[in-house]
Structure 1
Amino acid sequence: MTFTRFFFLLLLVGAITAPAKIDAQNANSNDKYVWKQATSGGYTYKYVTNDPLQTRLYTLSNGLTVLLSANHKEPRVAVRIAVRAGSNTDPRDHTGLAHYLEHLLFKGTDQFGSLDWAKEKPNLDKIDALYEQYNSTKDPAARKLIYHRIDSVSGLASHYSIANEYDKLMADIGSQGSNAHTWVEETVYEEDVPSNAMDKFLAVQAERFRNPIFRLFHTELEAVYEEKNRTLDNDGSKMQEATQRYLFPTHNYGQQTTIGTIEHLKNPSLKAIRAYYHAYYVPNNMAVIMSGDFDFDDLIKKIDKSFAYMQSKPVQLYNPAPERDLAAPVTKDIFGPSAENMRIAYRTPAVDTHDAVVLDLISSIFSNGKAGLLDLNLNKQQKVQSSNAGLQQYKDYGMLILNGTPKQGQTLEQVRDLLMEQIEKLKKGEFDESLIKAIVANGKLSLLEGFQKNEARVGALMESFIQTRATKWDEDVAELDEEAQVTKQEVIRVANKYMGNNYVLLYKRKGEDKSIVKVDKPPITPVETNKDKQSVFLKKIEAMQVSPVSPQWLDFTSGIGRGKAGIADVLYVQNKDNELFHLYYRLEMGNYNNRLLPLAAQYLQYLGTAQHPTAEISKAFYDIACNFSVNATNEVTTISVTGLQENFSKAVTLFEDVLHNCLPDSVALASLKDRLMKARANNKLNKNAIMQGLINYARYGAKNPFNTVLSADEIAAIKAEDLTGILHGLLNYPHTIIYYGPLAQDAFISSITSLHSLPTAWAPYPEKVKYPFAVQSANQVLFANYDMVQSEICWIHNSIPYDVNKEPIVDVFDNYFGGGMGSVVFQTLRESKALAYATYATYGTPAKKEDPFYILAYIGCQADKMNDAVGGMNALLNDLPTSDQGFELARTSEKKDIETQRFTEDGIVFAYLEAKQKGLDYDERKNEYETLDKLTMNDVKQFHQQQVAGKAYTYCVVASEKKIKVDDLQKVGAVQVLSLDQIFGY
């Protein structure tokens, strides 16, 4: 399926709600998906018959689009406020502008975010003028002087501003995941709010877009600089940008990046940003999209009232000339420190064409995870390290992309040839036409699973709006039906039409990227955040009354069915919504018990039985739209089989046959070993993996779970029979059977007893290896060298033993101190001091009662800011700024999270298993909820002093030794420079 388009067919839950009045014009249509019109609650809306989301599309009198899809599973509403404006519509001389604006829409208006707008405004006007002067000045010395004045006036203006007041408003409401994103065609503002707080929420959003004020601009601009520098360290981002640049040599898809050029980042214009806002943030270019627990008639009335002030105006959307066809392949090398890979990319047509639907299908014929050409011919046969394909669809064009990673001893060119072979197979029709039917069936299954969640619902509706397809929702809903009608001959025709000698070929090679020019750090004086102050608007919102939502506590006794299948315990939850089933076999055994177990689990996907070759098994599962997986972590192994209940017996029987009767395959094992060694080498080129290794080193010491791995000699000595023996005997160990599905409990137990082979007595688990936690007695620095623009630092400290009674104060402290955009850490290090784009801190709760709490803090910043960043975080770790208002918001937010949290599907079972690991047999959230009202700011301060301040920390630093000074690190603590062999254990 496509990367970004998710449409679906199956009905999710319940029947279509009958509209109040139906437009007779469409009443007699025999088509399955037909636009109809209805009126309810005084508002007219359109809907599509047989739409599983039962979406209502309203167009308000000012042109604002409202898309609503009700889902009453939890008392929350997922929201997207979408604007058809992204990097496509950035002015050519101000690229990155839409993204700037997205950041500034969090800064408030003349009504909130300000203590005294009349006094703040003159300073902001001066800053506007200074930036225009700065923008037009070329002399470096003169620019430096102007910037000094910008910094000075910004400091004066900040005395009247309230940083992050928007986030405080969202915390009061109980919103989760406040965020936004900008991409080529869109800017989208994201929230997830309690359904009882809709009046508050709409009041804030209506005000937010009424008159945004671009305050605290130079510190936010520095955050954008940091974001740009992070992309320079991300080889995946560079590959994405290059793909678009060369596929679209004239279209803005390829010629304007979302974050913008460094030159434009250095020369921002508040005047241009404001003009952009007025041009594109108009109701006829925006949509309010919601899915969740609401009444349609009540909500649309509130939305209309809230946004009625907006006035429609003509919008000049980006309307490019058609791209010329590529006359020949475009081949480019992209350099960076991460592992090598390559891709082949083809330009594809507009979203509203039938060919785009066929190409979506083609992407799944190439790669669907089980039975695609790449899956069976390359991945299953281990001819490459990995390969995949997908369609990334925009409005005007799309991109069909095939990716490949070389295995050990393989060149990128050899991977290219293998991918080209699969392309030619498809173009010649060398695939089974029945695959089309299976792709559609699996598409329906995955969408049935996914679209039970509000996030997926609003995501689909948002993309439909952005791609100007909201009025073509009937086509979107029918897309899988349309794919089902595609013939093999049509696939061949479309493949040959678009996949000729007109591709972009990118080789991501390991090496220095000499094109990188980082955004230099400007001198910034920390601004005032006024964290304890409140605007009149915030107080008004806080005073608004909301209907209470009562929390729902889990009852692990009555909420989970229990039984026996042979000697195995059964945990049961009935699915009363649809025909999906989830079956799990859970073993309290993993890598710590047997280091070969994860390898055996991975090996299984390449094995067949005497009756069924491995490719046939993959096809068989795909044909019945079912999935299986074996996942072995350090201490738990989970086997899962999922799909439609009608295929339950087939899926379980097939899996049991594979597990118990898989045949050793020495050729497959040799290839797996080879790919394992290559994966290990690739990990050493991955800065995230390196940081994970440092964190494990800090938490456990030199011998830790991360680097205690099989040696090369041990891997070489493994025999195929060693691994199949583990697989054959895996279910002889104690395991719990977990079922979520439509069968009644007795019927399930009867069925699984006949299908699932069990021993008469359990084999004992192998003894578990234990890794004691390190005790930090003095500050130390663990340093790993990596070629990067930024530096990344993590603080680690193992704290006190787990105590369930500590969870309330821990959660409130986390929220207050470092858990979000309104936290002390974020406000101080990013908002006030502009030291980083990403920073956080957490007092982490362990998963098991035997493990301790721990402190983990993080900041990623330019290398030349590292000393200031370390000093800034250390200051907060040792001395907690206090704010009664911030504390109250943190406590309120925790309460509202608990009140609106619901465990759906099999969630109660896994909540029970998590509680069990902590030694609990009850829902500890109830005790936490009752304790929250008793906590005070003084409790948080005392907790910080006792558990955080003055502690010895291990600093994990990943950075380029060329860009930082070891002497600076030694000021923090004793420095240990770790080699990659020490970090990874190989």
Structure 2
Amino acid sequence: MKKTTHFFFCLWLLLTFSGVSRAQTAQQGWKTGTSPGGYTYKYLANDPMQARMYTLKNGLTVLLSVNKKEPRIFTFIPTRAGSNTDPRTNTGLAHYLEHMLFKGTDKFGSLDWAKEKPLLDKVDALYEQYNKTTDEAKRKDIYKQIDVASGEAAKYAIANEYDKMLASMGAQGSNAFTWYEQTVYLEDIPANALDRYLAVQAERFRKPVLRIFHTELEAVYEEKNRSLDNDGNKVDEALMAALFPTHNYGQQTTIGTVEHLKNPSLVEIRNYFDKYYVPNNMAVIMAGDFNPDVVIAKIDKAFAYMKPKPVTLYNPKPEAPLTTVQTREVTGPTPESVRIGYRFPGGVAQNRAVAIMADELMSNSAAGLIDLDLNKQQKILGGGSSSQFMKDYGVWSLYGRPKQGQSLDEVKGLLLGEVAKLKKGDFDATVMQSIVNNYKKRQIETFESNYGRADKLLDAFILSGGSAYPSIIGLNAQLAAVTQQQVIDFANKYLGDNYVVVYKRKGQDKNITKVDKPAITPVEVNREAQSPFLQQVNSLPMSDVQPVWLDYKKDIQRGKAGNAEVLYVNNPDNDLFRLGYRIPMGTYHNKLLPIATQYLAFLSTDKYTAEDISKAFYGLASNYNLYSSGDYTTVQLSGLQENFAKSVALLDHLLRQCKPNEEALASLKERIMKGRSDSKLNKGAIMQGLINYAQYGPKNPYNNQLTNDELKALTSAQLIDVLHTLFDYPQRVIYYGPRPLAALGTDLTQAHQMPTAFRDVPTRQAFVQVAQQKPEVLFADYDMVQSEVFWVRNTASFDPAQLPTVSLFNNYFGGNMASVVFQTLRESKALAYSTYANYNIPERKDQQYSVSAYIGSQADKFNEAVAGMNELLNALPESGKLLETTKVGMKKSMQTERILNDAIIYSYLDAAERGLDYDTRRQTYEALDKLSYADLKTFASTQLANKPYTLCVVASEKRISPTDLAKNGEVKKLTLNEIFGY
């Protein structure tokens, strides 16, 4: 994948299909309709997605769902082939190919194909020679030849031309991913860019050219090395290998083995493309604003050149039953945990609904056995269960983290104890109806977005190719029909002593073999070049779409509930509501708030036990959440409008009437202490601490926490007082839902207790951004293969007049895959898998702008990576074509961008924090045409170039020397106590 390799199926396959045709077929309730031009499609009745399934003459599947809420379309183009279909001798091949399908064809991505082709042929031949050579000295010599030949070929390549074409039409989120049974290419495009999009996609899959291969291969090396630093990934691989001793689910990883990564074959990659990228094995999936009758004809015309071929998908012999417990161990620097996995039938098997019901009964984040018996009673640090359904098999996993002093075997025993309850039927069967109700809510939420709709269509295509749609879309009804006895029978059949347990232990992994850095000479990226095909695509007409800016006075209705202001947006589409109480008091005012909100989950009231409360919310299909940022605490509640009054009253009752529980508090303190220890083992948490230290100094928002001694001295009375009085402070009510505003005020007044006068908010602790006066390096030692580097610098005070320049600069310089930073550091120099840079807009009007830049690379590339980013920060490269593409793409994206639902209210609140009362997008849109490279250069010279930065570095001191660190400024190695504040 271009950004993330592994993709796990969303399990809530709640598709329903419908249409307008009246012809009824005999096949499982399908109906058929015909679009103009004779395109026949299938659909199912009463479908809120109004989806159609077409099969074109060449076998290409087309799945369409119309959603008119915004003038955009989310698209997937999947092929039903992934790492399962990799040759055993070339694992990782599908993933390689995914990367290369962004490099162009003989028509785009090339300055001169006639001159480029013979050079690429030479690169091909050298790779085949390299692949078959075992002598290391000879291999190094061949790779030098590859590097030279690739550099010559790159002189004729136009790097990232695909990304430029998509960006210029206003596309967002251009990406792809590879998994076991699929490789998928995705885009979010303006509705008026459909013709351009189809022209590019049709050409993309016609004849892909594997250009700039060795630098992209190095990006894959980086991706592999990042996976070696990911303990969760290692646990997953160990689990799957034991569950599937013969099936490729366990025997091949998506990225591939180190040995195969070192020996790629371009011939095998092309063979793979020719074998699996055929129309009868692919689909075009769209959800959004379009006319399906028009779109199907356009898709047919664009992809009619594709010829079908017989496709044999991976279809191995069944795995032998597991008859004993398999134990595996994984070591690494992250906290200890245990994971237990079972194997059962996958795809759309008849017992799928029963399997999902069993999983939900075990863990649904509220009222499952693990939720109530282990998490709610704090018997472990945290745990749960999850299901995956692949085409051939399903995997059910339980996971748990130990408390302080608790062994992994004890956690394992507790988890298996809950499995035993499931097998005996020792669970509250009434929760099953609550599970069905919550699925109903999730279904509605899914259909709100184009992505959610397209994702459901994608899942169904990959799992069944279309044949099992009725079974998939009937899942909600199937869940409602599941009985307690069916769950018991399922558990006893599949959940015996046939599981795999993986112990994740803390320690050094001595088995890691990283992919070594090859010697790569930076290649040309030809930023200014444009192929005739790009010019042809950009000449295709795009109908005008007028941008829509928010008018906060018109788009938000205002009312009152008691003495609180209500900010209201109507939901005309469905029965969901989302309610928020925004209280201007956060952790900067009271450090007890985040602990009090954790404590609440374990408290009873005078009427209900803690378990009763969890079951009650889950039974209402409602969710509540309390979140404290520095300046605000937001109490959020969502659910079905029919249960609004009950949900609001229950939340009020809980906060106002919760009772102290000393045993729960003692357990919570132990768990927080263990969680704090675990955070010190998390490289992401460590980096966030370094960044805050760089921005604010030794005392910063990140370590603004109780010390361990203060935590130990904390009393129930203190926390209960925080909870009981939370609604006594000033609050704004945020509501998105179907209830009219006038009626809402009455509902809230009756269900939500509000004081006649609000309390005064405590004094806010101020955190002041520091001024970087000299180059400095903040270093934290961590056992890892990679090095993670962040540049931090605070700059000027917030000035809204700078917003258009900032927005254009971010998009041009470092905000996407067509930007200067990505093109230079990844595409040209192969220094990183992930890199970006951003000029950050402050959240409040009294804060400063800041610069942040990031590169994650192999430790042995540290000096090159830092030098590469420094060069870009100090001298902004000029590319007139890239700048123009950026401006055009931003305008087209903004023309079709719509801020909807309760996001309207939060947009208003964000603007208000900056002292603004208008939608700043309009200001940027109107200024773009007037901005030039000179403006960006002046901006970069003033704010970025040749300024002192603080480098935040997380890496292993065994792999990066103090001397290398010191080249970038005065080095300060921070202790974990300094970083975290405890």
- Fold shared by both chains (TM-score > 0.5): yes
Aligned partners of 2:551 and 2:704: how far apart in 1?
Answer: 39
Decide whether the 8 Å contact of 2:15 with 2:456 is kept in 1.
Answer: no
Alignment correspondent of 1:636: 632
Alignment correspondent of 2:442: 446
Decide whether the 8 Å contact of 1:3 with 1:390 is kept in 2.
Answer: no
Q: What amino acid maps onto 2:13 in structure 1?
A: F
Decide whether the 8 Å contact of 2:353 with 2:482 is kept in 1.
Answer: no
Aligned partners of 2:732 and 2:400: how far apart in 1?
Answer: 38
> Which is worse superposed, 789-798 or 345-354?
345-354
Is 2:282 the partner of 1:294? no
Alignment correspondent of 1:185: 181
Decide whether the 8 Å contact of 1:68 with 1:290 is kept in 2.
Answer: yes
Alignment correspondent of 1:169: 165
TM-superposed CA distance for 1:356, in Å, is 2.3
SS of the residue 1:514 aligns to: coil
Aligned partners of 1:10 and 1:748: how far apart in 2?
Answer: 32
TM-superposed CA distance for 1:361, in Å, is 1.2
Aligned partners of 1:785 and 1:506: how far apart in 2?
Answer: 27
Decide whether the 8 Å contact of 2:169 with 2:893 is kept in 1.
Answer: no
How far does the alpha carbon of each residue in 1:489-512 deviate from its partner, in whole angstroms, 9 at most, with x for none? 110001111110100000000011
Aligned partners of 1:581 and 1:145: how far apart in 2?
Answer: 65
Aligned partners of 1:509 and 1:724: how far apart in 2?
Answer: 37
SS of the residue 1:606 aligns to: coil
Aligned partners of 2:46 and 2:491: how far apart in 1?
Answer: 31
Alignment correspondent of 1:926: 922
> Which is worse superposed, 110-119 or 652-661?
652-661
Q: What amino acid maps onto 1:23 in structure 2?
A: A
> Of the candidates 141, 157, 179, which is equivalent to residue 145 of structure 1?
141
> Which is worse superposed, 896-905 or 208-217?
896-905
Decide whether the 8 Å contact of 1:48 with 1:473 is kept in 2.
Answer: no
TM-superposed CA distance for 1:3, in Å, is 5.4
SS of the residue 1:222 aligns to: helix
What is the TM-score normalised by the length of structure 2?
A: 0.98
Alignment correspondent of 2:348: 352
Is 2:512 the partner of 1:516? yes
Alignment correspondent of 2:5: none
Aligned partners of 2:180 and 2:587: how far apart in 1?
Answer: 43
Aligned partners of 1:17 and 1:784: how far apart in 2?
Answer: 59
How far does the alpha carbon of each residue in 1:380-403 deviate from its partner, in whole angstroms, 9 at most, with x for none? 111100001010110000100001
Aligned partners of 1:108 and 1:229: how far apart in 2?
Answer: 27
Aligned partners of 2:526 and 2:713: how far apart in 1?
Answer: 64
TM-superposed CA distance for 1:897, in Å, is 2.2
> Of the candidates 633, 641, 646, which is equivalent to residue 645 of structure 1?
641
TM-superposed CA distance for 1:687, in Å, is 0.2
Aligned partners of 2:229 and 2:695: how far apart in 1?
Answer: 26
SS of the residue 1:193 aligns to: strand
Alignment correspondent of 1:7: 13
> Of the candidates 32, 35, 44, which is equivalent to residue 40 of structure 1?
35
Alignment correspondent of 1:480: 476
> Which is worse superposed, 569-578 or 103-112?
569-578
> Of the candidates 876, 885, 888, which is equivalent to residue 889 of structure 1?
885
After superposition, where does 1:638-787 map in structure 2 within 5 Å?
638-787=634-783
Give identity over the alignment, percent.
55
Q: What amino acid maps onto 2:477 in structure 1?
A: D
Alignment correspondent of 1:791: 787
Aligned partners of 1:54 and 1:499: how far apart in 2?
Answer: 39
Decide whether the 8 Å contact of 1:10 with 1:448 is kept in 2.
Answer: no
Q: What amino acid maps onto 2:455 in structure 1?
A: G
> Of the candidates 291, 297, 304, which is equivalent to residue 300 of structure 2?
304
Decide whether the 8 Å contact of 2:15 with 2:457 is kept in 1.
Answer: no
Alignment correspondent of 1:566: 562
Aligned partners of 1:921 and 1:159: how far apart in 2?
Answer: 50
Q: What amino acid maps onto 1:783 in structure 2?
A: F
Alignment correspondent of 2:20: 18
TM-superposed CA distance for 1:450, in Å, is 2.5
Aligned partners of 2:389 and 2:962: how far apart in 1?
Answer: 47
Aligned partners of 1:566 and 1:490: how far apart in 2?
Answer: 50
Q: What amino acid maps onto 1:466 in structure 2?
A: I
SS of the residue 1:909 aligns to: helix
Alignment correspondent of 2:312: 316
Q: What amino acid maps onto 2:32 in structure 1?
A: Q
Q: What amino acid maps onto 1:901 in structure 2?
A: E
How far does the alpha carbon of each residue in 1:255-300 deviate from its partner, in whole angstroms, 9 at most, with x for none? 0000000000000000000000000000000010010000001100
Aligned partners of 2:390 and 2:700: how far apart in 1?
Answer: 45
Aligned partners of 1:564 and 1:96: how far apart in 2?
Answer: 59
Alignment correspondent of 1:382: 378
Alignment correspondent of 1:207: 203
SS of the residue 1:344 aligns to: strand
With over 3 angstroms needed to count, the CA separation of the structure-2 counterparts of 1:10 and 1:536, relative to structure 1, is closer
SS of the residue 1:933 aligns to: helix
Q: What amino acid maps onto 2:35 in structure 1?
A: S
> Of the candidates 35, 47, 65, which is equivalent to residue 69 of structure 1?
65
TM-superposed CA distance for 1:469, in Å, is 4.6
How far does the alpha carbon of each residue in 1:546-596 deviate from its partner, in whole angstroms, 9 at most, with x for none? 101111111111111111112111111111111111111111110000000
> Of the candidates 363, 367, 370, which is equivalent to residue 367 of structure 1?
363
With over 3 angstroms needed to count, the CA separation of the structure-2 counterparts of 1:9 and 1:251, relative to structure 1, is closer
Is 2:410 the partner of 1:414? yes
Aligned partners of 2:876 and 2:920: how far apart in 1?
Answer: 28
Q: What amino acid maps onto 2:169 in structure 1?
A: I
- Structure 2 portions without partners, runs of 5+: 1-7
Aligned partners of 1:453 and 1:925: how far apart in 2?
Answer: 22
Q: What amino acid maps onto 1:444 in structure 2?
A: K
> Of the candidates 951, 972, 978, which is equivalent to residue 976 of structure 1?
972
TM-superposed CA distance for 1:24, in Å, is 4.3
SS of the residue 1:557 aligns to: helix
TM-superposed CA distance for 1:329, in Å, is 0.4
TM-superposed CA distance for 1:602, in Å, is 1.4
How far does the alpha carbon of each residue in 1:71-108 deviate from its partner, in whole angstroms, 9 at most, with x for none? 01111000000011111000010000000000000000
TM-superposed CA distance for 1:606, in Å, is 0.9
How far does the alpha carbon of each residue in 1:612-642 deviate from its partner, in whole angstroms, 9 at most, with x for none? 0010011111111111111111111111121
Aligned partners of 2:829 and 2:107: how far apart in 1?
Answer: 25
Q: What amino acid maps onto 1:342 in structure 2?
A: V
Is 2:237 the partner of 1:261? no
How far does the alpha carbon of each residue in 1:509-531 deviate from its partner, in whole angstroms, 9 at most, with x for none? 00111110000000000001111
SS of the residue 2:467 aligns to: helix
Is 2:850 the partner of 1:854? yes
SS of the residue 2:338 aligns to: strand
SS of the residue 1:740 aligns to: strand
What is the TM-score normalised by the length of structure 1?
A: 0.98
After superposition, where does 1:867-878 map in structure 2 within 5 Å?
867-878=863-874
> Which is worse superposed, 450-459 or 391-400?
450-459
After superposition, where does 1:450-461 map in structure 2 within 5 Å?
450-461=446-457
Aligned partners of 2:630 and 2:893: how far apart in 1?
Answer: 30
With over 3 angstroms needed to count, the CA separation of the structure-2 counterparts of 1:192 and 1:552, relative to structure 1, is same
Aligned partners of 2:780 and 2:200: how far apart in 1?
Answer: 45
With over 3 angstroms needed to count, the CA separation of the structure-2 counterparts of 1:712 and 1:357, relative to structure 1, is same
Aligned length: 974
Is 2:404 the partner of 1:398? no
Aligned partners of 1:264 and 1:566: how far apart in 2?
Answer: 67
Decide whether the 8 Å contact of 1:9 with 1:480 is kept in 2.
Answer: no
> Which is worse superposed, 152-161 or 626-635?
626-635
SS of the residue 2:138 aligns to: helix
TM-superposed CA distance for 1:10, in Å, is 8.5
Runs of 4+ in 1 over 3 A off after TM superposition: none
Aligned partners of 1:839 and 1:392: how far apart in 2?
Answer: 31
Decide whether the 8 Å contact of 1:600 with 1:727 is kept in 2.
Answer: yes
Alignment correspondent of 1:136: 132
TM-superposed CA distance for 1:436, in Å, is 1.2
SS of the residue 1:470 aligns to: coil
- Structure 1 portions without partners, runs of 5+: none
Alignment correspondent of 1:801: 797
Aligned partners of 2:9 and 2:404: how far apart in 1?
Answer: 28
How far does the alpha carbon of each residue in 1:451-508 deviate from its partner, in whole angstroms, 9 at most, with x for none? 2111111111111111125222111111011011111111000111111010000000
Q: What amino acid maps onto 1:725 in structure 2?
A: D
Aligned partners of 1:350 and 1:388: how far apart in 2?
Answer: 21
